[in-house]
Amino acid sequence: MGTAVLGVEDVLDGLAPELVGSELASVLEGAELACRQDRADPGIRRCSPLRGVLGTLGGIEVTAVEARFDDRRLAQVTIYLAESRFAALLPVLSARLGEGKSWNVTLRAGMAGQFEDQIRIWESDHYVLIAQQFDGKIDRSSVIYGSPDAMGSLLHQIKSTPPGGVRDL
Tens of pLDDT, residue by residue over 40-51, are 999 999 999 998
Give a three-class secondary structure readout of 47-71.
EEECCCCCCEECCEECCEEEEEEEC
- Look at 79 and 168; give whichever has higher pLDDT: 79
Give the pLDDT score at 57. 94
Categorize the per-residue pLDDT at 66 as very low, low, confident or very high, splitting at 50, 70 and 90: very high
pLDDT at 2 over 70: no
Domain assignments of the chain as residue spans, ordered by start: 11-101+123-150
**DSSP-assigned states of every residue in 93-142:** HHHHH---EE--EEEE-STT-EEEE-EEEEE-SS-EEEEES-SSSTTEEE
User: Per residue in 76-88, pLDDT tens?
Assistant: 999 999 999 999 9
Give the pLDDT score at 8. 72
pLDDT at 1 over 50: no
Give the pLDDT score at 6. 47
The span from the CA of 127 to the CA of 76, in Å, is 9
